[in-house]
Structure 1
Amino acid sequence: MQKHPFAFYFLFIALIGALSFSCKFNPNMQTPGESYLQGEWQQDSIPKQKQLVTYSLYHLKFSCDSFFVSISSFSKVNTGADSCMNSGHWTEYCRGTYDQKNDTLHLKGQFCNADMSLKDDKGCFRSGDYEEFFKVSKKADSLVQFASTTNIIPVNARLIKKTTCTPKPL
């Protein structure tokens, strides 16, 4: 049985077409992100924090589609090495990108050091991937509530510095 060269060319063209429609290039510029989030947000306290054994306070910074968060944790119970827990107070940092669909904010990135350099996995506390989902409620122009899907205590953050997005090349 003899094969027709037309069938081979047709399959080749169909394969190339399917690959070109299924692939897309990553953008070479940052996307603008959510305009209402642009800037720095601070959580000052949580209700009844003096009675809690352990709690965390958040400082979030949004710039275009990127975020940087510092999580200051406080604990009355020492469950780790004191060189890490620093007498019951320590801070972790994360950086990455975010997107929002409806009322759900998705943060995805990496744990890092305070200078935004990648954190060594042999150090204190968490390292590697960071991923968190928050239900966002805008309470006022300068007050937003981030309700985590993994924590029962919401983050009530106030705007301390408003910025605008100026997309940068990637």
Structure 2
Amino acid sequence: MMNKKGLYFLLFTFNFLLLMLSCSRLPNVQGKGETFLQGVWNQDSIGNKEQMQSYTQHKFRFTCDSFYVDLVTYSKVNYYEEDCFNNGEWKEYAKGTYQVRNDTLMLIGDFTKANYKQKVSGCYRHGRYLINFKVKSWNAEQLQLENLSDQTEVKLNFKEKITCVQKAL
């Protein structure tokens, strides 16, 4: 017959072992990402841009589970202070991680400076960069996306292959 202390010790040990066996430690390296995205993709042209008040061209670099994007915006309308408007052409940058779920590409990151270091103030946008795209089609040469917030099409051309080399976090 076992006393109360022995029973509590046995229950504690059993629960502790059960907890340890049910948990698994995540690897301390970045994820592999999606093979079909790995590389540099440029939006070389935009259809009907002459009729638009503003538009943005994208250049994406996907490496492992990370993305880097250069955004060049052209605008006929001044949304910013005169010092920032730059005659209707300006550049923005963002980086972060991405996930693909079903047909949706989710980009979760931050606006950055041109060197991809954190941007906390200045002209244009800063803070979080959260964009979702529908992957409309893909092949080895082209990637066609639709921005789910404004339904604009982003047709990207493949420029350069990047092989994922996972880095420590």
Greater shift, 60-69 or 24-33, is seen at: 24-33
Greater shift, 59-68 or 75-84, is seen at: 75-84
Deviating beyond 2 angstroms after TM superposition, the runs of 4 or more aligned structure 1 residues are 3-27, 137-140
**Aligned pairs, how many?**
167
Per-residue deviation at 1:51?
A: 0.9
Greater shift, 24-33 or 54-63, is seen at: 24-33
Question: Alignment RMSD, CA only?
Answer: 2.2
Q: Deviations over 1:46-87 (max 9, x none)?
A: 211011001111100001111001111111011211222211
Q: Deviations over 1:109-150 (max 9, x none)?
A: 111111011002x21222122111111133432101111111
The aligned counterpart of 2:146 is 147
Secondary structure at the aligned position of 2:87 is classed as coil
Per-residue deviation at 1:16?
A: 4.2
The aligned counterpart of 2:53 is 53
Q: 1:160 to 1:13 in 2, by over 3 A?
A: same
Per-residue deviation at 1:152?
A: 1.6
Greater shift, 11-20 or 70-79, is seen at: 11-20
Unpaired runs of 5+ residues, structure 2, are: none
Identity of aligned residues (%): 38
Q: Verify the 8 A CA contact 2:110 2:128 in the aligned structure 1.
A: yes
The aligned counterpart of 2:94 is 94
Amino acid at match of 1:107: L
Taking the TM superposition and a 5 Å limit, the aligned residue runs for 1:81-160 are 81-120=81-120, 122-160=121-159
Secondary structure at the aligned position of 1:40 is classed as strand
Per-residue deviation at 1:44?
A: 1.6
Mapped to 2, the partners of 1:17 and 1:130 lie a distance apart of 42
After TM superposition, the score normalised by the length of structure 2 is 0.86
Q: Verify the 8 A CA contact 2:80 2:124 in the aligned structure 1.
A: no
Mapped to 1, the partners of 2:42 and 2:72 lie a distance apart of 11
The aligned counterpart of 2:74 is 74
After TM superposition, the score normalised by the length of structure 1 is 0.86
The aligned counterpart of 1:44 is 44
Q: 1:7 to 1:105 in 2, by over 3 A?
A: farther
The aligned counterpart of 1:164 is 163
Unpaired runs of 5+ residues, structure 1, are: none
Mapped to 2, the partners of 1:18 and 1:83 lie a distance apart of 62
